[in-house]
Amino acid sequence: MILKICGITNPEDCAAAIAGGATAIGFNFYPRSPRYIAPESAAEIASAPGVRRVGVFVNEDRARIEEIARIAALDVAQLHGDEAPANYPASLAVWKAARVSPGFDFARYDHCPAEALLLDGPASGQTFDWSGTGILACVGLRIILAGGLDASNVAQAIAIVHPWGVDACSRIESAPGKKDHKKMTEFLRAARAALRS
């Protein structure tokens, strides 16, 4: 199970996430994001053995993704743009992200070669209708659930979707790019408890 904290911008938040049980940390390399971090800065943030380092990209060139992956020691590229499978980086795992809104067509990801499909809300910090995701069994991909998750709703999301992982960011922050350690720890604790039940 993936327990991911995204939007890491500093060593203190990373250390707190790992201490709370995170199994993946996300660095946002999209320059227009308020959580943007330079690859060289991400490289200086230490993680821990077994914790996956995930880079968030939006319509980035494959060669540039692979370059950033080398600099920042990434394990996974999380792709949020219109990237076609032919443009996926070859040097690391891919999590293809998709924003779910009414009428979302899960079938278009039936043959997606990504390691996982990350389902995000229609906008930053927003959830979507998890009960409408029963069709996910047809996708044949591991599902990572994102979008508006925090300690108050992650157990319900896990119970409905049974995802491979969960991902939290904006709802566990005190400001964009700065985690609220209490909220983050509570989210991770609630997610772990839900997975054990």
pTM for the full predicted model: 0.95
pLDDT band at 40 (very low <50, low <70, confident <90, very high): very high
Give catalytic status of residue 120 as yes or no: yes
pLDDT tens, residue by residue, 93-121: 999 999 998 888 887 887 889 999 999 99
pLDDT tens, residue by residue, 142-174: 999 999 999 999 999 999 988 999 999 999 999
pLDDT computed for residue 130 by the predictor: 87
Domains of the chain listed by start with CATH number: 2-196 (3.20.20.70)
- What does DSSP say about strands 93-99 and 116-120: parallel, antiparallel, or unpaired? parallel
Distance CA 46, CA 64 (A): 22
Bridge partners (DSSP) of residue 121 are none
**What average pLDDT does the segment 36-42 reach?**
98
pLDDT computed for residue 20 by the predictor: 97
Cα separations in angstroms, 62 against 55, 65, 117, 134: 13, 5, 19, 33
Give catalytic status of residue 13 as yes or no: no
Pairwise pLDDT comparison (197 vs 6), residue with the higher score: 6
Burial of 87 (0-12, 13-18, 19+ CB in 10 A): middle
Distance CA 147, CA 166 (A): 9
pLDDT tens, residue by residue, 53-80: 999 999 999 999 999 999 999 999 999 9
Q: Which of 120, 150, 167, 169 is catalytic?
A: 120
**DSSP conformation letters of 130-189:** GGGGGGGGGT-SEEEE-SS--TTTHHHHHHHH--SEEEE-GGGEEETTEE-HHHHHHHHH
